[in-house]
């Protein structure tokens, strides 16, 4: 019998068999593989088999039977392979999803992953997903976040975008979180805001599903006896899936998923897959929420610890200051008395010593040194006083006017003129009047080295936000900034104990009240002192 098919040849050439194309060359010399892979489906072979069946040979019908069975089995195997492939993909997806959910403690990341998984084509492929969260303080189930397109055009744009970027789930979720989370939240804001159901409302389909802890597939929602028509209209679809998120017995929230664009039927298989997915999501959301709360508590505790530490340091400092206070009081009594006796008797002797007496110089030296020591003692005691300021609300313009009046003689003696521009409608400042007055007088009267061109002092007050600024411009002085900074440093080693110590004392005194004192030297314009006074009581 002449066969149409080449199955009976051991070796065929390329072109002899219509089913063998380039790339299949290894089949040319392998009759067994060629018969199984190509001939069984070849029309020539089928015709040869029919001819053989009708040839009267007793094996003819048997071969046809075997051939049919072989083809049926082959199709079945292919279908099983395809099923296995899809399950492998699903397992890989669940594995990927599980890894991301298990490793994340960031609530936004968890939500992004969950909603992306529901709507991504590689995931469950739903068109749209809403996440509702349980607000335990208000006892409400509340719309929180949604993802998906709002119309057909947008849907195609999103799907094309996803198709062109071959990203894994985590990358997809990260990209969503980074680029789209806020936009999606805003996009569905109108719907999310309206989904707010009291947990006590057990008649509502959402609460029913949540309490039942089972997913619900709602079909024909507009006519469903358990679905509020207003709720169905709000979602705008007649078929949707409700997936409660429950972690142990705690109601975490709910996912509503639908195919509002494609209207693809939601199958029972979809529902079961999503049901498997909701448990890790609920667990991850709860864990992330707890972590967030834990983090907040930790921050609160850390803050409290820092505050406590600061308070402890303050107490230690205050104890030290109290000690300084006691020491300086003791100094006042122990030093001032002998000092006044020495200085007093020296002055008394000086009065009775004639001008030409050689001892007069020595006595004058004692008087002068005793006076200087008394000055230093005053500064130290003033510093001690400055450690305990007493505050109240005071009129700043009045304060400046008084200080200028008290300093008038000293300024006049140095050939100074002074002007004052009082700010209008200034609120009272919260300060220690005595200390700030002392500082103001000291700054106005300070006797710094370095001479400017004009002996003019201009003082100005004005309001700046929550503060009142006193600006003193001393045209009559000029010092390099570095030297001025040194002078402003309390008890600096480079500084002589004398008149200029007053400025450093002022700085310390004001800083104790939280009042900054800034001194800036500007060539040609003199020295600018700026004092910023608060107008409110500070929070303790």
Partner 1 sequence: MNRLLVVDDEANIRLLYAEELADEGYEVVTAAGTAEAVEKLREAAFDLVVLDIKLKNESGIDLLQKLVKERHDMPVILCSAFSCYKDDFSAWLADGYVVKSGDLSELKQEIARVLAKKAQRQRAGL
Interface with partner 1, residue 321, by CB under 8 A: no
Task: Please give the residues from 25 up to 84 whose contact with partner 1 meets the rule CB under 8 A.
Answer: none
How far apart CA 449 and CA 495 sit, in angstroms, is 12
Quick one: which segment of 170-178, 340-348, 399-407, 498-506 binds partner 1 (CB under 8 A)? 340-348
Q: How is the chain split among helix, strand and coil, in percent rounded to 5? A: 55, 15, 30
Contact 146, 192 (CB under 8 A): yes
Quick one: which segment of 104-112, 204-212, 283-291, 341-349 binds partner 1 (CB under 8 A)? 341-349
Closer residue to partner 1 in complex, CB, 114/380: 380
Contact 117, 123 (CB under 8 A): yes
Instruction: Mark out the alpha helices in 387-465 (DSSP H runs).
Output: 396-413, 433-445
3-class SS at 170? helix
138, burial (CB in 10 Å: exposed 0-12, middle 13-18, buried 19+): exposed
Quick one: which segment of 173-181, 327-335, 448-456, 494-502 binds partner 1 (CB under 8 A)? 327-335
Contact 397, 421 (CB under 8 A): no
Closer residue to partner 1 in complex, CB, 116/435: 435
How far apart CA 444 and CA 437 sit, in angstroms, is 11
Interface with partner 1, residue 326, by CB under 8 A: no
Quick one: which segment of 36-44, 245-253, 334-342, 355-363 binds partner 1 (CB under 8 A)? 334-342
Closer residue to partner 1 in complex, CB, 382/461: 382
Quick one: which segment of 126-134, 311-319, 335-343, 457-465 binds partner 1 (CB under 8 A)? 335-343
Write down the least CB distance from residue 345 to partner 1, Å.
6
Using alpha carbons, list the distances in angstroms from residue 217 to 121, 231, 243, 261, 423.
Answer: 20, 15, 9, 17, 73
Which contacts of 261-264 are long-range, i.e. CB under 8 A and separated by 24 or more positions?
Answer: 261/127, 261/128, 261/148, 261/149, 261/151, 261/152, 261/155, 262/127, 262/155, 263/239, 264/127
Interface with partner 1, residue 351, by CB under 8 A: yes
User: x-or-dash pattern for partner 1, window 399-438, by CB under 8 A?
Assistant: -----------------------------------x----
Task: Please give the residues from 357 up to 386 whose contact with partner 1 meets the rule CB under 8 A.
Answer: 367, 370-371, 374, 378, 381, 385
Closer residue to partner 1 in complex, CB, 96/374: 374
Q: Which residues contact partner 1 (rule: CB under 8 A)? A: 329, 332-333, 336-337, 339-348, 351, 367, 370-371, 374, 378, 381, 385, 434
């Amino acid at each position: 019998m002449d066969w149409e098919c080449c199955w009976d040849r051991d070796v065929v050439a390329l072109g002899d068999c219509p089913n063998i194309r380039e790339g299949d060359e290894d089949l040319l010399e392998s009759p067994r593989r060629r018969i199984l892979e190509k001939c069984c489906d070849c029309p020539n072979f089928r015709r040869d088999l029919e001819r053989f069946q009708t040839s009267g040979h007793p094996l003819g019908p048997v071969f046809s039977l075997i051939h049919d069975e072989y083809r049926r089995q082959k199709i079945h195997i292919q279908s099983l392979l395809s099923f296995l492939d899809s399950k492998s993909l699903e397992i890989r997806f669940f594995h990927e999803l599980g890894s991301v959910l298990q490793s994340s403690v960031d609530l936004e990341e968890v939500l992004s992953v969950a909603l992306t998984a529901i709507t991504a084509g590689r995931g469950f492929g739903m068109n749209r997903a809403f996440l509702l969260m349980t607000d335990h303080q208000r006892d409400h189930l509340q719309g929180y976040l949604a993802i998906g397109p709002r119309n057909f055009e947008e849907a195609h744009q999103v799907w094309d975008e996803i198709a062109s970027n071959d990203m894994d789930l985590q990358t997809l979720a990260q990209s969503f979180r980074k680029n789209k989370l806020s936009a999606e939240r805003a996009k569905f804001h109108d719907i999310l805001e309206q989904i707010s159901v009291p947990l006590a409302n057990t008649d509502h389909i959402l609460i029913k599903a949540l309490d039942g802890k089972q997913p619900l597939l709602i079909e024909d929602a507009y006519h469903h006896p358990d679905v509020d028509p207003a709720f169905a209209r709000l979602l705008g679809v007649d078929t949707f899936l409700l997936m409660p998120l429950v972690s142990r017995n705690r109601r975490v929230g709910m996912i509503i998923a639908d195919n509002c664009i494609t209207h693809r039927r939601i199958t029972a298989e979809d529902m079961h897959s999503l049901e498997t997915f909701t448990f890790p999501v609920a667990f991850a959301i709860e864990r992330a929420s707890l972590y967030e709360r834990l983090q907040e508590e930790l921050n609160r505790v850390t803050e409290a610890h820092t505050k406590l530490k600061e308070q402890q340091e303050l107490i230690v400092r205050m104890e030290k200051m109290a000690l300084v206070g006691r020491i300086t009081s003791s100094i006042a009594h122990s030093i001032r008395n002998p000092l006044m006796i020495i200085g007093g008797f020296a002055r008394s002797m000086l009065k009775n010593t004639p001008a030409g007496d050689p001892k007069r110089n020595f006595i004058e030296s004692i008087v002068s040194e005793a006076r200087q020591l008394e000055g230093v003692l005053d500064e130290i005691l003033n510093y001690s006083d400055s450690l305990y300021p007493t505050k109240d609300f005071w009129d700043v313009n009045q304060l400046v006017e008084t200080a200028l009046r008290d300093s008038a003689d000293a300024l006049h003696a140095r050939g100074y003129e002074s002007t004052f521009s009082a700010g209008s409608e200034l609120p009272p400042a919260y300060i220690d009047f005595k200390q700030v007055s002392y500082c103001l007088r000291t700054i106005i009267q300070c006797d710094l080295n370095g001479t400017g061109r004009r002996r003019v002092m201009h003082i100005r007050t004005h309001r700046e936000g929550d503060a009142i600024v006193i600006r003193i411009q001393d045209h009559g002085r000029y010092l390099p900034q570095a030297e001025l900074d040194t002078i402003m440093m309390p008890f600096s080693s480079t500084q002589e104990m004398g008149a200029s110590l007053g400025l450093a004392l002022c700085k310390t005194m004001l800083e104790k009240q939280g009042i900054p004192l800034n001194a800036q030297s500007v060539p040609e314009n003199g020295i600018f002192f700026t004092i910023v006074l608060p107008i409110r009581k500070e929070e303790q």
